Structure 1
Amino acid sequence: MSFEDSSASGADIEKTSASPPTYLGEDKPTTTLREDVAAYGLEKVFQRHGRIDLIPLPSNDPQDPYNWSSWIKHALLIQIAFHAMMGPFSAASVIPSFETFVEDFDITITQASSVPILFLGATPLLAAPISARIGRRPILLGSAILSAAVHLGGAYCHSYGTLMITRVFQAILLSPPQSLGADMVNEMFFQHEKGQKLGIWTLLTALGPPVAPLIMGPLVWNTGKWQWTFYLLAIINLVQFILYIFFAPETAGFVRPARGVPGVETATSEAPRQKTPWWKLYFSFKRTSSAPWSRVPYETVHPFVMVLRPTVLLPALAYAITFSYTNVLLTVEIPALLGRKYQLNPQQIGLQYVSSVIGATLGEVVAGTGSDWWMLWRTKRANGNREPEMRIPFGLPGFIIGAVGTLIFGIQLQNTAAGRWNVTPLLGVAIALFGLQIVTTVVYSYAIEATTRKRQHLVSPFVGFVRQIYAFTAPFYLTIPFEEWNFTKGAGLLTAFVGIVSFALLFVCQIFGRRWRQREAEKDGESEAVPESP
């Protein structure tokens, strides 16, 4: 691999001198006049990226993560997104074995399903400050190899207590990408790309719960042993570890020189740097921050200051409610409700999750690229002024779609005959997950964009924590409305929360978000939470 550096030719820049100015995010953008490129010393930026209207502006250093080649960035993005998926994937992988656990260990389905969810939300708060000091790469490598060992140990458990201990450690060790994913996206990709790239990360995270039983159901049914669930998880973690060694350069710790104003020497040039050998990006470890370790406890709880920021708290609550009453509900209740009514075996139960995968994937196709296009269109209409609240209207229909999908699931489960499989409840599952993915991408993108730069790193762990804590409590009461009333009324109650409460929480940000952002920016000493496009 090569990170070769080169300068833009005068001819290339000359071609763009008569071109009109462009807006953030255009597919084939051009630069401003040649004088602007030269005055700010942006020749190398233009050569690498074909544009200079980038937020933030990269340095001239080829080792700047913003300057890495596209395939390196995307290879790392896919790895971290897949790793983020492994947390909920591991937690949900035992779903086809629930009935076996109930018989072998004399427990309830709720006990079997809920414990790891809590740790998936809490542990990322600690991973973020540690990775800020030693880098992302050591955390990811350690997570992969230690998870492999613990998963392998889970296959040899003979009691409910030891199995839960291993599952707790599995959740702890697999949780770091839940918070590091958004940080790494910020460290590699520009502002106009974040909606799409965060969408890839959130998509795979959302696919963890449905993909796990889809794979593990046939595996457990054909092998006859739930232990094979943990064997496969250990193998996956080992493969991750190997891929990280060769395809995961460090993204944290790069010191990016600030650019000044035209006419100032430091504004038009940067001090020459000795080119770092490519292998040092992979095989050398060093401190990426000089922050003292004594501040780790403070930084672990620091994300909770987002409770005081409505532009983060309200979207996080809206997302947590929607996630719990679509993804968690339909993942946990498919074996308990649909599996029992239609008398499905573990393999057949696993196959029901195809609908979740299809719905979430189609939702991300719309949400990731669609929300970025939406922002481009709104920015053009606003004469180049980009504001985070412009993204919210794109996400609001997701709440309605998710609510409709959950309602269809309940109605069709109620109206179909017992003992005879029917596909119509699964159409509701696909629709619900489609809506959830739109909500997920828009909430993460908006919350990050609406936060000042000095606090953006706190958004992802806080949103993940709120989601997981709410999701942890959900399995304890989700079955009650279905058992006390019927499938239709139970789904109707949960639909009301998604379609009314969650919708209203995000809609409030549409009305008051700008005012809140300005107040928060003043407190943090920044003029704007998100700068306008150059």
Structure 2
Amino acid sequence: MSGWKYAFALSRHEVSAATPPGTARLLVEDESASRPPSSDSLIRFPLPSEDPADPLNWAQWRKFALLLVVSLYSFCGNFLSSSIAPALQLWFKTFPTEVNILFLGASNIWWVPCSNIFGRRPVLLVATLLMTAGTIWCAVSTSYNSVLVARLFQGIGAGASESVAPALVGEVFFVDERGRAMAIYTVFLSAGSLIGGIAGGYIGFQLGWTYIFWVGVGISAACFVGTLFLVPETLYDRVVSPIDPGLGSTIDEKGMESHVEDSRSQIMDYRPYTYGRSLGFTHYRGNAVGNFLAPWKTLRLPGTWVVMFHYAGLVGGIVTISTVGPQLVAVPPYLWGSNVGLINVGGMIGTILGALYTYLLSDAQLKKKARASGSGLAEAESRLPTMFLSLFIATSGFFVFGFSGQYPSKNGWVGLSAGFAMVSFGLMQLPSVGFNYLIDSYQQHAGDCFVMVTIMRAIIAFAWTFFVAHWVEEKGTAEPFGIFGMLMGIFSLLTIPLWLFGKRMRIATSKFVEN
């Protein structure tokens, strides 16, 4: 059964025993004579099939190569978006940035449905090729209107890096591996805008702004070539795994893998996994109307709203700080000149610290909670506590940046960099923890959830970037960034009910996920 009234009428014991989507048996007691009774074996979930085309069965090198390519793609999209700002300190008056930011997110309205219809690989090939072509167009443009249209196509091509790409990570890695895999993806995602901000100033001042785009051409072309040769099709028709499986690969605490047979399994003949089969161009699933409506239906799922507001607020903050920061240090008392991009160093430090924090804690927290439950069940909400500290730090970072910018001094840049680092630290958690929550909870619908997340991210980032320059000019930085911090604080508080009642919410909405 499902439904809100039913879910919130259950006793605590009934909720604990329930197994809605997002609950998986991660640990099973190992009772073999060769190991102590207290030792646990790790169940690889979802359960892979015997099909060699099943992405869960791929060799680790193939999975890592795919992760590296889609991570580079996410890096490139943000690098292209941010690298021009420090090179042209009056960029917002001279060339278009907001249109690129808007279409970077809004383009997922069609990228994800198309990937569900035709497959992930064809969509990524088209997207990376379009991103490369748009960047070449930017490099050879000689007028404002030409750059405007080129940036539009560049943003559309980069858009799939924030929705289709993380869906691939969820399709090739097991539940207990996704936190670390998403941490790697998030490092590239966050570093793109920061490295772009640092490098863009030097490239622009030394060689001219068109060379920023030529560097982008090289990176985007590498994404296309990498996708062509290293990213097989990952869209796979998987039979939904039972929550309490009696089979599957298990990993003991020493990392030794074993296999447990299941009487329910049936012997099936699978075709060999050939190169032609890996190309994925034969996937066509039809139902275009249903696929294009599917993202909007995920608004019935509470987790979508929470992650949507978290990601939108933090990305909006990073984008506005990346836009305003170089302008602040370009004028007295700083006068950094071509070094204005160094304001992004603070963001890089926050990103690295956030990556370490997430990489070490995300999957470990999941296993710890599964072991502490006594049943070996892992809940999607087990990852959420790792976000509390990061969201608090990120929210505080808005205020630190705003007040440091409002009252400039000789060493005021330290406050600007610290605020940037704090927001970047928080941003590291969202794809690593928030996106994983959507993958764990909503499974095959996660890609549709990402559409809504990136659309909200695009709207807020576009709106804040569009208004912030004039707002800062008239009121200073304290007021706008104080309001941004207040909004981020409200968004952060939404994590608490999701953590406390998330499983009840998953029970209430399970019919939408299972169907």
Q: TM-score, normalised by structure 1?
A: 0.80
Distance 2:266 2:505 in 1: 38
Q: Give the gaps of 5 or more residues in structure 1.
A: 1-22, 35-49, 103-107, 527-534
Contact 1:55–1:191 under 8 Å retained in 2: yes
Q: Which residue of 1 aligns with 2:309?
A: 317
How far the C-alpha of 1:139 sits from its partner, in A, is 2.3
The answer on 1:388 being equivalent to 2:380 is yes
Distance 2:306 2:226 in 1: 37
Distance 1:354 1:448 in 2: 32
The answer on 1:505 being equivalent to 2:494 is yes
Contact 1:125–1:301 under 8 Å retained in 2: no
Distance 1:51 1:241 in 2: 40
Contact 1:398–1:439 under 8 Å retained in 2: no
Q: Which residue of 2 aligns with 1:519?
A: 508
How far the C-alpha of 1:484 sits from its partner, in A, is 4.1
Q: Against the structure 1 CA distance between its residues 379 and 341, is the aligned structure 2 distance closer, same or farther, given a 3 Å change threshold?
A: farther
How far the C-alpha of 1:341 sits from its partner, in A, is 3.9
Q: Against the structure 1 CA distance between its residues 24 and 401, is the aligned structure 2 distance closer, same or farther, given a 3 Å change threshold?
A: farther
- Equivalent residues in 2 for 1:332-481, closer than 5 Å: 332-342=323-333, 344=335, 347-383=338-374, 384-417=376-409, 422-451=413-442, 453-479=443-469
Q: Against the structure 1 CA distance between its residues 155 and 344, is the aligned structure 2 distance closer, same or farther, given a 3 Å change threshold?
A: farther
How far the C-alpha of 1:413 sits from its partner, in A, is 3.2
How far the C-alpha of 1:266 sits from its partner, in A, is 7.6
**Greater relative contact order (Cα 8 A, min sep 6): structure 1 or 2?**
2
Q: Against the structure 1 CA distance between its residues 355 and 394, is the aligned structure 2 distance closer, same or farther, given a 3 Å change threshold?
A: same
Counterpart of 2:61 (choices 45, 61, 71) is: 71
Contact 2:381–2:499 under 8 Å retained in 1: yes
Counterpart of 1:128 (choices 101, 104, 112) is: 112
Distance 2:84 2:281 in 1: 38
Counterpart of 1:280 (choices 247, 260, 276) is: 276
Q: Against the structure 1 CA distance between its residues 479 and 25, is the aligned structure 2 distance closer, same or farther, given a 3 Å change threshold?
A: farther
Distance 1:179 1:455 in 2: 12
* Larger mean Cα displacement after TM superposition, 175-184 or 252-261: 252-261
Give the SS at the match of 2:378. Answer: coil
Q: Which residue of 1 aligns with 2:176?
A: 192
The answer on 1:249 being equivalent to 2:239 is no
Contact 1:25–1:193 under 8 Å retained in 2: no
Contact 1:58–1:256 under 8 Å retained in 2: no
- RMSD across aligned C-alpha pairs, in angstroms? 3.0
* Larger mean Cα displacement after TM superposition, 67-76 or 350-359: 350-359
Aligned residues with identical type, % of pairs: 24
Distance 1:339 1:32 in 2: 66
Contact 1:447–1:459 under 8 Å retained in 2: yes
Q: Which residue of 1 aligns with 2:299?
A: 307
Q: Against the structure 1 CA distance between its residues 421 and 136, is the aligned structure 2 distance closer, same or farther, given a 3 Å change threshold?
A: same
Distance 2:176 2:62 in 1: 19
Q: Which residue of 1 aligns with 2:264?
A: 267
Distance 1:468 1:95 in 2: 18
Q: Which residue of 2 aligns with 1:491?
A: 481
Q: Against the structure 1 CA distance between its residues 97 and 447, is the aligned structure 2 distance closer, same or farther, given a 3 Å change threshold?
A: same
Contact 2:393–2:423 under 8 Å retained in 1: yes
Give the SS at the match of 1:386. Answer: strand
Distance 1:441 1:502 in 2: 18
Give the SS at the match of 2:50. Answer: coil
The answer on 1:177 being equivalent to 2:173 is no
Distance 1:270 1:33 in 2: 27
Residue identity opposite 2:222 in structure 1: V
Q: Against the structure 1 CA distance between its residues 342 and 287, is the aligned structure 2 distance closer, same or farther, given a 3 Å change threshold?
A: farther
Residue identity opposite 1:78 in structure 2: L
How far the C-alpha of 1:257 sits from its partner, in A, is 9.6
Distance 1:253 1:525 in 2: 17
Counterpart of 2:213 (choices 222, 225, 230) is: 230
Give the SS at the match of 2:140. Answer: coil
Q: Against the structure 1 CA distance between its residues 153 and 351, is the aligned structure 2 distance closer, same or farther, given a 3 Å change threshold?
A: same
Q: Which residue of 1 aligns with 2:320?
A: 329
Q: Against the structure 1 CA distance between its residues 486 and 172, is the aligned structure 2 distance closer, same or farther, given a 3 Å change threshold?
A: closer
How far the C-alpha of 1:204 sits from its partner, in A, is 1.9
